[in-house]
Structure 1
Amino acid sequence: MKTILWATLTANGNYAQSGANNPPTKEALNDFAAQAAAAGNFIVGRKTFEAMRGSGGGGPFAEVDIVVVSKNASEIPGVTVVRSPQEALTCLQQKGHQTALISGGADIHNSFLGEGLVDEVIFNVAPVLEGKGLNLLIDKDNYEYKHVQLLDCKPLGGGVIQLRYAIER
């Protein structure tokens, strides 16, 4: 199964944290909806899922399999809840998916990266600088390097640039 990690970064390289003062750009959100529709699924952490869900309703994800990775939640209506990144991939594979889209947050991204479960990354670089931020890590304890190959680079509009890389596994 091909796994694609999708994230928004700030122009100074931090993992972009969305909030009331820094909402996600519409260009990045539109791209995420298109990527999720193409994959037919996405994997997300519980906190990020709850923030995404807002007032409910199907919206652009009504026909998409959503898998929430959580060590605490036992059941969330309308989605599959699993305990680990590998369990999330196994679940989607059993449903017949060929591609898994990993969408956030930083803890989920770092879990998949740390376990070497990511084939590609899509970084949407937002036109904002962030003072204190989170980082995406392939190994939180060592200074490890992984070589990547640029697959695509394109502007999404609104100053957002998308970079797509294959990760050497």
Structure 2
Amino acid sequence: MKTILWATLTANGNYAQSTPENPPKKEALEDFAIHAKAAGNFIVGRRTFEGMRGNGGPGPFGDVDVVVISKNAAEIPGIKVARSPQDALDYLQQKGHQTALISGGADIHNSFLGQGLVDEMIFNVAPCLEGKGLNLLIDKENYQYKHLELLDCKPLGGGVVQLRYAIDQ
């Protein structure tokens, strides 16, 4: 199964965090919806899912399989709760998906990266700087270096630039 990590970064490389004063760029959200529908799924952490869900209903993702990774969340009606990145991938593979879209939460992204479970990365670089932010890490303990192959680079509009990389395995 091909795994694609999707994230929005700030121009200075931090993991972009949304606030009411700094909402996500609509171009990045539209791009996420396109990728989620193409994959037919996305994997997300519980806190990010709760933020996405807002007032409850299925929203624009009613037709995709959503997997929430949480070690202690109770059942979520209509949503698969997985306990680990590998559990999430196993579930999607059993459902017949060829691609898994890993969409959110820095902890979720870092878990997949740290376990070597990412084949490609899509970074939407937002035109802003963030003073204090989260980083994507392949290993929190040791210095590691992974080579990437640039697959595509394109403007999405609104100053957002998308970079798509393959990770050399």
Name the residue aligned to 1:14: 14
**Equivalent residues, number:** 169
2:54 & 2:78 partners in 1: Cα distance?
14
What secondary structure, in the 3-state scheme, does the structure 1 residue paired with 2:50 have? helix
Q: Which sits farther off after the overlay, 50-59 or 144-153? A: 50-59
Q: Which amino acid letter does the alignment assign opposite residue 140 of structure 2?
A: K
Runs of 4+ residues over 4 Å off in structure 1: none
Shift of 1:59: 2.4
Provide the C-alpha distance between the structure 2 equivalents of 1:51 and 1:148, rounded to a whole number of angstroms. Answer: 31
What are the Cα deviations for residues 110-154 of structure 1, in whole angstroms up to 9, with x where unaligned? 000000000000000000000000000001111100000000000
How far 1:12 sits from its partner (Å)? 0.2
Q: For residue 89 of structure 2, what is the aligned residue in structure 1? A: 89
Deviations 1:21-52 (A, max 9, x none): 21100000000000000000000000000000
Equivalent position SS for 2:113: helix
SS at 1:124's partner residue?
A: strand
Aligned 1:62-141 pairs, distance under 5 A: 62-141=62-141
TM-score by length of 2: 0.99
1:143 corresponds to: 143
**Secondary structure of the equivalent of 1:109?**
helix
> Retained in 1: the 8 A contact 2:42–2:66?
yes
Q: Deviations over 1:57-95 (max 9, x none)?
A: 222201000000001102111100010000000000000
Q: Does 1:32 align with 2:32?
A: yes
Query: Identity across aligned pairs (percent)?
Result: 80
SS in 2 for 1:44: strand
Unmatched 5+ residue regions in structure 1? Answer: none
TM-score of the superposed pair, with normalisation by structure 1: 0.99
Distance in 2, matches of 1:72 and 1:18, equals 24
Equivalent pair of 2:4/2:121 in contact (CA under 8 Å): yes
**Structure 2 residues without counterparts, runs of 5 or longer:** none
Q: Tell me how far apart the structure 2 counterparts of residues 162 and 104 of structure 1 sit (CA, whole Å).
A: 17
SS of the residue corresponding to residue 110 of structure 2 reads: helix
Look up the match of 1:160.
160
Q: 1:59 and 1:18 mapped to 2: Cα distance?
A: 19
In 2, the alpha carbon distance for the partners of 1:46 and 1:58 equals 15
